[in-house]
Structure 1
Amino acid sequence: MSDSIHQLQVFYQNKIQDYTLAVHRLKNKINAVAFFRAIFFVAWLYLLYQYFTNNNQVILLLSFLGLAGFLALISIHFNFKNKKQICQNKLWLAQNEWNVLDEKDNAFDDGNEFFMNTAYYADLDIFGKKSLFHLLNRTTTYLGKQVLFHQLSNPMLQKEKILLYQSAIKTYSTQYSIIETWIATAMLYKNDETVHTNGIQQWITNFTSLTGRTYWNSIRYILPALSIVAFIYTLDTGNYAWLSICIVLNWLHVGIAGKYNGKAFATLGKQQEVLNTYSKLLDVFKNVSVNDAVVLQQLKEKANEGCKSIVRLSFIANLIHQRFNLLATTLLNSLLMYDVHCTVLLDNWHHNNKNKINAWLEAIGEIEYLNSMALFAYNHPAFVYPEIETEGFIIKAANLGHPMISGKQLVKNSFQLQQSGVLLITGSNMSGKSTFLRTVGINILLAEIGAPICATQFSFTPMYLFTCIRISDSLQENTSYFMAELQKLADIKTQLSTRHSALILIDEILRGTNSCDKYEGSVQFILQLIQQPCIVLFATHDLKLSSLEEMYPNNITNYCFESTIENNHLSFDYVLRKGIAQNKNATFLMKKMGII
């Protein structure tokens, strides 16, 4: 175990101990508050009994004080309970990070819902169990998970944009307390956030604004004021005429407003909790230190702006939610036009913020993405941020390793590619060819989403990424293995004709045909590729293909992985070398396993 990993484990172990103690203390406080709350409640009941028995004003005052103490203790109880849950969530996060460093599974979602057997997703293990998404993911909202998916499936190709995200991740990765508070706060919300977030966005799009906003803003105060006067007049005189007229007018306006607010009330009345969570998250991020990170500065500005407005929307949603109390709503609408007030408040909020809310929601997703990237960077202090080239086709790597392989299993390789062309990689079975392709691909992808990568030095030209490594046939689609492979190669050819600067990773094509046909097809495809603006890593067992280097020395270079058989034992060093593979192991393994 490296010193940096050991230091991180000590850090998380200290967090685990601190939060375990904090949770224990808060439990004790909650129990104490519950005890005193019960005492105040009993005292309040006793004082009320004494007041009605003795009609003593002092006792009445004491009873009010007892009630106030009881209500205050309820508030304190919920405050302590919320703090305890936050501490428990921080404890859970610290334990998860410790487990990940100890090579256990990340407890966050693995992104299996995004799995597709297309593009480079399956070939590079981007989504699903033990995937790159699973390694990176620390998102706790639907919005964040969508942004992480989008970044992994649509990496950045502009140097300026990548550098902006590198700067943001570098700066943010030093602020663990904000990241853990954000995650712990987001974990308080346990309902299906997807439904509620979509509901908010649909309401913004479909909301029908009030006509005559000035009128509605005035009448919602005038009629309730007249209704209260009429109510007092009725109590004084017993004459219901004026009160009846006011009630009819109130319900007439409630009915008209209902044409505008029906769908909005049905949607937003259920969103109060998720809106409250979003406002708390933005409030957490207001404390971030941005330094010179432009992305963080922009997100902080959105957080500052959006926090108060979403708190206001949450308040309005809570008012709307109270309408489900039918008796109270009937009385309030009769006298105060409660629904009209809710409609006007909602209309005013929509008028002022309809063009901003989506930006605030997007900011939440972006911050969630940065949480994932920042924790990834924090947990991998030995990883480096790549240098980005803008000219030519460049990949220069020193000690490049696979980020999902750790410990003694991780073997790092160094190489340089400074022009387009084909890197032809030969080697026996299990020698490391496929893993090397995935290592290069997954680190390029990390580099293009602004993250640090598993190397001691790395520079590259941003490129589109195409792969043909894993092939799956399909009975449902009546597609053979061979046709599925050909379709994947055809897709790469098509994509190359519409895009520039591509990295193509190919592992042993045309396995479904005879050796002569395979060789001819491979040669023709390689000759097609060297005419395109791309770097190709082409792994193969076919040593005959290595002769292409002699014919095209400026476009094709031979590299290899070797295996060694000593004392009837097969071993691999997984080190990339220049040249052509010399050793074979298939016959040896078949004999050893008793197959031949």
Structure 2
Amino acid sequence: MDSLDFYVNQKRKNEDLLRIAQITQSKYKYIRLVAFVVALVIPFVVSDSVFVSALFFLLGISAFLFVVRRDILLDIRIAKIESLIEAATQEINAIETDQFPGRNGSCFSNRKHAYSSDLNIFGERSLYHFLNRTHTAAAEQLLANWLKAPASKAEIEKRQQAVRELVSKPELLIEIRSLAVLKNRNKEKNDLSGLDLKTDAFWPRLKIAFGYAVAFSLLNLVLIGTYFTGHLNYLFLLAAVGFNYVLFSSLYRKVTKQAEPVLGQSRDLCFFEDFIAVFEREQVQSQLLNDLAREFSAAGESGSVVISRIRKLLHRTDHRYNLALQLVLFSWCYADVAFLFDYWRVQRRYSGFLTRWLHAVAHLEVLSSFAVMQFNQSWLFPSISENPIQFVAEGLGHPLIPSAKRVVNDVRFDDRNRMLIVTGSNMSGKSTFLRSVGVNLVLALAGAPVCAAKFETGPFELMTYMVISDSLNENVSTFQAELLRIKQILDASRTKHNLFVLLDELLRGTNTTDRELGCKAIVRHIAHHQLFAVVATHDLSLANMEQQFPRQIRNAHFDIQIETGKMFFDYKLKSGVCQSFNASMLLKEIGLDLNDASGDASRN
């Protein structure tokens, strides 16, 4: 069964379950009504016996409460079923219409990064957008970090093993996706870093506040008892309780203000509780998944149970926002301080574990994102070599181009072929080829599958020069921006010997003569430092440098076919230098007469 069939079947199965659940829920409405009648109507109509009336009342109330509880549980089940349906629908849309369900990662964009801006790693319809199935802020940041820097060979292989195992568990993947869908629907926060506040400075103040709360609560209780025995005036009671509240309020406000980052987050913990519970039930084999799963039992008990306990304690502190409870209970009892004290006592005990669990959840989310991509696409896990002079790709395509439109190519680099100079006409596929190499290299070195039939690579560090623009905010012209990026590459080449460089149309911001001289100087520098590089250019003079460096440089090209005045591109990489160009034809199509030499001179 392919991925699309799996999601369609999951959607249909859960739609059937949803219909059954909704029918059951409608029956509960009638049962509640019957129970209500039994409890409140029949006892006064059927019998004059107090015993019989009380019996009917108790039976009716018991049945009513039982059905209400079952209805609440059914509501929870319906919400989970609906989230499974929505998760399956999102993946169907991702496969069929390229509608990516996750955030696009635009907040991680950095034009000064070595390659992320040129390769469209972040932003709308980017690689990050395509991959992302994470929910928490920590996981979103971790995914960005993995895409911005290569991992070691050992770490890549551990990630690949984990992703392979997750791919074999599609039901687990869709359940994880449904958790994120459900929590997004509930508008739960995805950043719980505040839960692990450093408590050294706060804990002493909270203990003092708790002591005062107990003392004032007992005093108020004595005052209330004295009032009910008739020994205290009502107005004096209100004045005494109000005076105690004023005395305590200053310390109370300081305590609650410092605790504000965690107050009101009880609902937000549901995702972590459910996510951890899912992995605690799952039997995993790969080293990385085992290591992460063991984190959830590092405290000596189930991580989901501890999270549940913390969530319930936080939920009790949420009662402080209830106006009725504030007036009736917390105005004299200060129970919310006791609730906060209970929470912080548990939080201090598990403080270090909370950080580890959030870290483990983030890793599992990112690995699950890679696994969903692989399950949807059925691509290849690349082979990572320690050999720094190896790069082989066959059937290489751009991951973000739909498979029906994707054209694949083969490319190979080794000790005798370190640089590829690619010439070609406009729109022939040069830039897309460079991005195909770069994006797949990013995926490979992050531990993800790649869009290729064969992919072997060494531990490269990637740098690019492709989309260079000016910056008004930074007062940087286009040519200055080009120079800054070139300097960044040249500086790195002097200290790093595993660079893989992608260069697209060098020095576009200067005149033809200087550009030719500068481009050749850059290519010579790369050749002398024996870097791996792909250089895309319209400048045929660069192709002549193969003669100067025959053991390092080779030429390849993308060409154009013209039939009955129409241009056709096959986007296939071919050996040698391009002999066909199309700029003149394109200029004629927009109305320029290239044969008119007189120009404006004839009109002066």
Same fold (TM over 0.5): yes
Contact kept, 8 Å, 1:257 with 1:340, in 2: the verdict is: no
Counterpart of 1:453? Answer: 450
Which stretch of the first structure deviates more once superposed, 36-45 or 437-446? Answer: 36-45
Residue identity in the other structure for 2:407: V
CA distance in 2, matches of 1:249, 1:374: 61
- Alignment match of 2:289 (pick from 284, 296, 301): 296
- Alignment match of 1:392 (pick from 388, 391, 396): 388
CA, structure 1 residues 198+48, in 2 after alignment: closer, same or farther (shift >3 Å)? farther
Say whether residues 1:426 and 2:420 are aligned partners. no
Deviation at 1:594?
4.3
Contact kept, 8 Å, 1:283 with 1:303, in 2: the verdict is: no
- Alignment match of 2:578 (pick from 578, 581, 591): 581
- Alignment match of 1:165 (pick from 155, 159, 170): 159
Q: How does 1:72-83 map to 2 (within 5 A)?
A: 72-83=66-77
Say whether residues 1:125 and 2:120 are aligned partners. yes
CA distance in 1, matches of 2:246, 2:10: 60
Counterpart of 1:109? Answer: 103
TM-score when normalising by structure 2: 0.86
Counterpart of 2:88? Answer: 94
CA, structure 1 residues 147+45, in 2 after alignment: closer, same or farther (shift >3 Å)? farther
Counterpart of 2:256? Answer: 262
CA distance in 1, matches of 2:24, 2:201: 46
Write out per-residue CA displacement over residues 283-310 of structure 1, whole angstroms, 9 at most, x where no aligned residue.
122223311x122112222334431221
CA, structure 1 residues 345+498, in 2 after alignment: closer, same or farther (shift >3 Å)? farther
CA distance in 1, matches of 2:227, 2:193: 48
Deviation at 1:445?
0.6
CA distance in 1, matches of 2:472, 2:223: 77
Contact kept, 8 Å, 2:209 with 2:255, in 1: the verdict is: no
CA, structure 1 residues 347+452, in 2 after alignment: closer, same or farther (shift >3 Å)? same
CA distance in 1, matches of 2:217, 2:59: 33
Counterpart of 1:56? Answer: 50
CA, structure 1 residues 88+248, in 2 after alignment: closer, same or farther (shift >3 Å)? closer
Counterpart of 2:598? Answer: none
Deviation at 1:520?
0.3
Query: What SS is found at the alignment partner of 2:446?
Result: coil
Q: How does 1:9-20 map to 2 (within 5 A)?
A: 9-20=4-15
- Alignment match of 1:320 (pick from 317, 322, 327): 317
CA, structure 1 residues 358+295, in 2 after alignment: closer, same or farther (shift >3 Å)? same
CA distance in 1, matches of 2:206, 2:580: 85
Deviation at 1:487?
2.0
- Alignment match of 1:487 (pick from 464, 484, 488): 484
CA distance in 2, matches of 1:230, 1:56: 40
CA distance in 1, matches of 2:100, 2:180: 18
The percent of aligned pairs where both chains have the same amino acid is 28
CA distance in 2, matches of 1:562, 1:249: 88
Q: How does 1:275-286 map to 2 (within 5 A)?
A: 275-286=269-280
CA distance in 2, matches of 1:194, 1:172: 26
CA distance in 2, matches of 1:248, 1:586: 85
Deviation at 1:50?
6.3
Deviation at 1:194?
4.7
- Alignment match of 1:415 (pick from 397, 403, 411): 411
CA, structure 1 residues 54+329, in 2 after alignment: closer, same or farther (shift >3 Å)? farther
CA distance in 2, matches of 1:592, 1:228: 91
Which stretch of the first structure deviates more once superposed, 555-564 or 371-380? Answer: 555-564
5+ residue gaps, structure 2: 594-604
CA, structure 1 residues 440+28, in 2 after alignment: closer, same or farther (shift >3 Å)? same
Which stretch of the first structure deviates more once superposed, 254-263 or 186-195? Answer: 254-263
Query: What SS is found at the alignment partner of 1:311?
Result: helix
CA, structure 1 residues 196+255, in 2 after alignment: closer, same or farther (shift >3 Å)? farther
CA distance in 2, matches of 1:218, 1:472: 63
Residue identity in the other structure for 1:296: L
CA distance in 2, matches of 1:239, 1:54: 44
- Alignment match of 1:66 (pick from 60, 64, 68): 60
CA distance in 2, matches of 1:75, 1:133: 43
Which stretch of the first structure deviates more once superposed, 73-82 or 336-345? Answer: 336-345
Q: How does 1:133-144 map to 2 (within 5 A)?
A: 133-144=128-139
Write out per-residue CA displacement over residues 53-102 of structure 1, whole angstroms, 9 at most, x where no aligned residue.
95713322332332222222222222222222222221122122222222
Residue identity in the other structure for 2:157: L
- Alignment match of 1:176 (pick from 170, 181, 185): 170
Say whether residues 1:442 and 2:444 are aligned partners. no
Residue identity in the other structure for 1:97: E
Deviation at 1:170?
0.4
CA distance in 2, matches of 1:413, 1:123: 20
Contact kept, 8 Å, 2:86 with 2:181, in 1: the verdict is: no
Contact kept, 8 Å, 1:127 with 1:133, in 2: the verdict is: yes
Say whether residues 1:85 and 2:79 are aligned partners. yes
Deviation at 1:239?
6.0
TM-score when normalising by structure 1: 0.87
Say whether residues 1:343 and 2:340 are aligned partners. yes
Which stretch of the first structure deviates more once superposed, 225-234 or 497-506? Answer: 225-234
Residue identity in the other structure for 1:290: V
Q: How does 1:557-596 map to 2 (within 5 A)?
A: 557-592=554-589, 594-596=591-593
Deviation at 1:523?
0.8
Residue identity in the other structure for 2:481: A
CA distance in 1, matches of 2:261, 2:58: 39
Deviation at 1:561?
1.8
Query: What SS is found at the alignment partner of 1:453?
Result: coil
Counterpart of 1:46? Answer: 41
Contact kept, 8 Å, 1:196 with 1:271, in 2: the verdict is: no
Residue identity in the other structure for 2:192: T
CA distance in 1, matches of 2:172, 2:430: 41
Q: How does 1:245-260 map to 2 (within 5 A)?
A: 258=252
CA, structure 1 residues 473+252, in 2 after alignment: closer, same or farther (shift >3 Å)? closer
5+ residue gaps, structure 1: none
Tell me how large the CA RMSD over aligned residues is: 3.4
CA distance in 2, matches of 1:340, 1:88: 38
CA, structure 1 residues 594+330, in 2 after alignment: closer, same or farther (shift >3 Å)? closer
Contact kept, 8 Å, 1:395 with 1:458, in 2: the verdict is: yes
Which stretch of the first structure deviates more once superposed, 80-89 or 218-227? Answer: 218-227
Counterpart of 2:550? Answer: 553
CA distance in 1, matches of 2:51, 2:204: 51
Deviation at 1:437?
0.4
Contact kept, 8 Å, 1:428 with 1:563, in 2: the verdict is: yes
CA distance in 2, matches of 1:582, 1:231: 99
Contact kept, 8 Å, 1:390 with 1:462, in 2: the verdict is: yes
